Structure 1
Amino acid sequence: MRIAALRERAPGETRVALTPETVRKFAALGADVAVETGAGETAAIFDAAYEEAGAQVADAAAIVRDADIVLGIQAPDPALLSGAKAGAMVAAVFDPFARRDRVDAYAAAGYQALAMEFMPRITRAQSMDVLSSQSNLSGYKAVIAAADTYGRAFPMMMTAAGTVQAARVFVMGVGVAGLQAIATAKRLGAQVSATDVRSATKEQIKSLGAKPIFVEDVAGIEGEGSGGYATEMSEEYQQAQAKLVSEHIAKQDIVITTALIPGRAAPRLITDAQIASMKPGSVIFDLAVAQGGNVEGSQADELVVKHGVTLMGYANTPTTLAPDASALFARNLYNFLSAFWDKDAGAVTLDEEIGDAVRLTQGGKVVNERLAAQ
């Protein structure tokens, strides 16, 4: 069994899909592991560390030659995989709804594309879930970056010269990223509130010491979609939520937005009029900016000032914490593949529940049900 990891080629991508830790773990399973020269440098992992862990380090053509499995953060161009075994597995993030052309190219090339972002949110797959591991770091980074841009203190400070009031932080969307944002803001000493369309998140918000901000007068709307994701809400709920948020957001110093719906553009949470209601010097960090943005006027990797409020957000937030993001992503990949490792057969045999969920292509065809209607 040969496992290869290529250097990431997407602009701005600094992570790597294999670390010395997971090289050793795969080698212990009996795998032959290869890494492209320089693949880990942007994540502070140098070639010597891979070699010390037991990996072959060589150019791209050499490492993919006869590979059974290729690992990536973002799915590589199929042209880079020339020389891999027929039907080789490629485990990475594919963005299949936006990049259907790449999925079709994988099918035409005969590779088995495994979209890690399609990992089902079930208990036994939690350790394989790259969206959760990367979102956790993104929620943390959003607060740290917003705090730095805000330019004022986060905690209350009582001094001989007077009291500095604690910053007010409002988190919109209480998934993995939102929960970590709440926890980070609390650790920094802010007054934290949060909202979500899913009523089940109220207790999670309270458990972290934050104040839940929820629409209470619209009955029968829970907001819970399949797999634990939020779903789109009725017009009645959207109007009620917009009114509540407008009243609350005007009092906030920092807002973190995290709302995403898989396969769809990010929902708009904050309008220009709501931005105008905030205090000058306030900051909004839009974690969904790369998917269209939750905030009107936000731009990826740019500081945009509107009505005295700074809007910010990164096109790829986990890359700003590349060493930790790489370590977690690599463990997700190891946990995924090792769970289905058949040492005697020298193969990875995926089961139906997880395999059918993540498999995009096989046998020269696009086989994933979620893409069938595309």
Structure 2
Amino acid sequence: MQVGVRREQRAGERRVAATPETVLQLRALGLDVAVESNAGAGAGYADAAFAAAGASIVPELIAESLDVLLHVRPLEPETAAGLRPGTVSIGFASPASELPGVRALAAAGVTSFALELVPRISRAQSMDALSSQSLVSGYRAVLEAALRYPRFFPLYMTAAGTIPPARVLVLGAGVAGLQAIGTAKRLGARVSANDIRAASADEVASMGGTFIHLDLDTRTADPSAEGSGGYARELGEDRAKRQRALLAPHVAAADVLITTAAIPGRAAPLLVTTEMVAGMRAGSVVVDLAAESGGNVEGVIAGRDLQIPVDGGSVTLVGLQDAASAMPSDASRLFAKNVANLLALMTADGKVVPDFDDEVVAASCLTHGGSVRHAATAEALEAFK
């Protein structure tokens, strides 16, 4: 069976859905692999390396000849429409925001697997691309903050005086948040963090951060903030307002604020208002990792740095975009393994035959046989009409 690896079309996207290492893995499964020329160039993987691993290098993938298409970003509707019925696609699909593409996949009879839908269970950890890319993003967020912060992160004691460490506050203690905590600690900052899930306190401590406990008054609300798949559940408006009020003094005391809270398939929750940012000191930096899904910080613009006026200067608000793509080599290495491991789960004797009795396969399938299998996306498509 023929597996195709596409050259990503979105401007600024430098990742690739396979590496020479995973080509070897797929070849060992009995699959033939075709890689579009320069598909890995942005991530540092040359055509020659793919060829040495056994892949065919082609100027352009021919949709009619593919049995499987591997990609990073969601497929454009026209690309999906060009695939023949029964083709398997694996990659990010952003089903909540890319409904025309989902509709095109279903109409074309493509069996598509969305990596956002891979369940967060133990046996699927090696296929969890959201986690692997969040790891990269959390690391990158701290580097972006450090480059813009006009002072040191670590404590320095010198003959000329003592320079105190930067105070970093991380909101959201998922994979990205925990990686941000660990990276900021390694750079020498004093780090604190908050997450609405109480169970996150131990994880924050394990990374060297100080957990900020907030009394959100759960007397009239469900005290559990744990959503499905290990993600946080969005708070009701009353509790969200109280959360922001309780966070305000911690935000004001921070030199660097990194926000990472996201809920798959939904707009990012608002954690920080413009008024809260205006309470920070001049020179402070805010990095919003959720900018592409609406942002945790009021007024953030994905892909832009904004200067928020405060007494004595301004606060830099960074709407981080394509964070994982900014570190394409390692991001691709992790992503490609996630993709290859999911494909391996569906491959036997050189044939890709998804077993929908398998909970991982069933949960991650977006479209199959002309219909949308993911219930929430199917409902959204009905409303989208």
| Structure 2 partner of 1:208 | 207
Question: For residues 151 and 350 of structure 1, do their structure 2 counterparts lie closer, same or farther at Cα, with a shift above 3 Å needed?
Answer: farther
Q: What TM-score, normalized to structure 1?
A: 0.96
1:120-131 alignment, distance < 5 Å: 120-131=119-130
Q: What TM-score, normalized to structure 2?
A: 0.93
Residue deviations 1:295-318 (CA, integer Å, cap 9, x gap) = 112212211010210000222111
Unpaired runs of at least 5, structure 2: 381-385
CA apart distance, 1:76: 2.6
Inter-partner Cα distance in structure 2 for 1:84 and 1:274? 49
Q: Matched residues, percent identical?
A: 45
Inter-partner Cα distance in structure 2 for 1:80 and 1:239? 43
Equivalent residue letter for 2:346: F
Given that 1:9 and 1:76 are in contact with CA atoms closer than 8 Å, whether structure 2 keeps it comes out as: no
Equivalent residue letter for 1:58: V
Inter-partner Cα distance in structure 1 for 2:282 and 2:70? 46
| Structure 2 partner of 1:35 | 35
Inter-partner Cα distance in structure 1 for 2:329 and 2:160? 41
Residue deviations 1:87-107 (CA, integer Å, cap 9, x gap) = 010001111111111111111
Equivalent residue letter for 2:213: F
CA apart distance, 1:360: 1.5
Unpaired runs of at least 5, structure 1: none
Residue deviations 1:116-155 (CA, integer Å, cap 9, x gap) = 1111111110110110000000000000110111021111
| Structure 2 partner of 1:319 | 325
The equivalent position to 1:241 in structure 2, one of 235, 240, 243, is: 243
Question: For residues 167 and 87 of structure 1, do their structure 2 counterparts lie closer, same or farther at Cα, with a shift above 3 Å needed?
Answer: same
Kindly indicate whether residue 31 of structure 2 is the aligned counterpart of residue 26 of structure 1: no
Inter-partner Cα distance in structure 2 for 1:269 and 1:153? 26
Equivalent residue letter for 1:26: L
Kindly indicate whether residue 349 of structure 2 is the aligned counterpart of residue 350 of structure 1: no
CA RMSD of aligned residues (A): 1.6
CA apart distance, 1:328: 0.5
| Structure 2 partner of 1:164 | 163
Question: For residues 110 and 287 of structure 1, do their structure 2 counterparts lie closer, same or farther at Cα, with a shift above 3 Å needed?
Answer: same
CA apart distance, 1:77: 3.0
Given that 2:254 and 2:280 are in contact with CA atoms closer than 8 Å, whether structure 1 keeps it comes out as: yes
Inter-partner Cα distance in structure 1 for 2:216 and 2:374? 40
Residue deviations 1:157-179 (CA, integer Å, cap 9, x gap) = 00000000000000000000000
Inter-partner Cα distance in structure 2 for 1:168 and 1:65? 55
Given that 1:68 and 1:84 are in contact with CA atoms closer than 8 Å, whether structure 2 keeps it comes out as: no
Tell me the number of residue pairs that the alignment of Structure 1 and Structure 2 aligns: 372
Inter-partner Cα distance in structure 1 for 2:300 and 2:77? 33
The equivalent position to 1:364 in structure 2, one of 370, 378, 383, is: 370
Inter-partner Cα distance in structure 1 for 2:163 and 2:355? 56
| Structure 2 partner of 1:88 | 87
Inter-partner Cα distance in structure 2 for 1:67 and 1:104? 20
Given that 2:80 and 2:105 are in contact with CA atoms closer than 8 Å, whether structure 1 keeps it comes out as: no
Inter-partner Cα distance in structure 2 for 1:82 and 1:101? 11
Deviates more, 1:79-88 or 1:33-42: 79-88
Residue deviations 1:258-280 (CA, integer Å, cap 9, x gap) = 01112211111111111111000
1:285-300 alignment, distance < 5 Å: 285-300=287-302
Deviates more, 1:53-62 or 1:231-240: 231-240
Inter-partner Cα distance in structure 1 for 2:377 and 2:304? 33
Equivalent residue letter for 2:373: V
1:1-374 alignment, distance < 5 Å: 1-62=1-62, 64-77=63-76, 79-80=78-79, 86-216=85-215, 218-219=217-218, 221-307=223-309, 308-343=314-349, 346-352=351-357, 353-374=359-380
Question: For residues 81 and 250 of structure 1, do their structure 2 counterparts lie closer, same or farther at Cα, with a shift above 3 Å needed?
Answer: closer
